[in-house]
Amino acid sequence: DAKTTQPPSMDCAEGRAANLPCNHSTISGNEYVYWYRQIHSQGPQYIIHGLKNNETNEMASLIITEDRKSSTLILPHATLRDTAVYYCIVRVEGYGGSQGNLIFGKGTKLSVKP
Amino acid sequence: DTGVSQDPRHKITKRGQNVTFRCDPISEHNRLYWYRQTLGQGPEFLTYFQNEAQLEKSRLLSDRFSAERPKGSFSTLEIQRTEQGDSAMYLCASSLGDRATDTQYFGPGTRLTVL
C-alpha cells in the first residue's frame, strides 16, 4: 500500500500558485519524498524529490516539514498545462529489491482553470 | 528525443492471443522497470532489471507474463493467452541505478485492449 495520503482533487486558478499537500506520517529516516505527475494518457513525469531540506527546480518547489511527516509541492504559477494527477511517493533510496520500486497511490487530480 | 521509448503505443488484441511490448530505456541507464496501470489507479510495479538480470517480480506478474532484457539494453514484456483483465496501460521506466540519484523516468506507455 502507498505510504502517503493526498486529497483526491484540487482546483487552482491559472497564474496562481498551486499548493499540493501530502501526508506521510510513517516515513522513515532513510526515505525520500518523490513527486511525479501524470497528464492524461501519458506516462508519469518526474517533478522533484527531497529528503529533509526544501528543494526547488525549474518545475516546482518541495517543502518538507521539520518532522518530515508531511510535505507540500508548490507550482508557483500554474498554467492549464499543469492539469494532471500528482503523485506523492516515499521510497528508500538505494539498491536492490522492493526498496527501489515506486508505490503509487491514487494521487491528487489538479484542475487548473482559466 | 533521448527519453524512454515504448512500442507500440496502442495494441488491440483478441482474448487468447499473445502480445509483446518493447521498451528502450534512456542510454546508459542500468535499471529498467515495468509497471501496469488500470483505469483510475496509479501505476503498479511488475518487475525490474539491473542490466540483464531480472531482480524482482511482483505477485501481479502471473505465469502468463514474461519479461526479458537480453543485452542489458532494451526490454520486452510478453503476455501469453491474453485475458480481458490484462487490458491496461503498460509503463516502462529506467534509472541510472546509482545509489544517490536513482530517479525513474517513464516512457509514454503501451495501452493494451483485450477484446
- Tens of pLDDT, residue by residue, chain B (115 residues): 589 999 999 999 999 999 999 999 999 899 999 999 999 899 999 999 999 999 888 888 889 999 999 988 999 999 999 999 999 999 999 998 876 668 899 999 999 999 9
Other C-beta atoms closer than 10 Å to the C-beta of B67 total 20
Cβ distance of A101 and B56 shorter than 8 Å = yes
Q: Which residues of chain A have pLDDT under 70?
A: 1-2, 93-100
Region class of B18: left (phi > 0), else alpha (psi between -120 and 50), else beta: beta
Is omega for the bond preceding B43 within 30 degrees of 0, making it cis? no
| Coil, strand or helix at B113 | strand
Cα separations (Å) of B113 from B1, B14, B17, B82, B88?
A: 27, 8, 12, 10, 7
Minimal CA separation from A9 to chain B, in Å: 13
Which residue do the cell numbers 507500440 mark? B8
- Looking at the complex, does the CB of residue B40 fall below 8 Å from at least one CB of chain A? yes
Number of H helices, E strands in chain A: 0, 9
Reported as a single tens digit per residue, the pLDDT across B85-103 is: 999 999 999 998 876 668 8
Interface test with A, best of B90, B99, B106 (most A CBs within 10 A): B106
Reported as a single tens digit per residue, the pLDDT across A50-83 is: 999 899 999 999 999 999 999 999 999 999 999 9
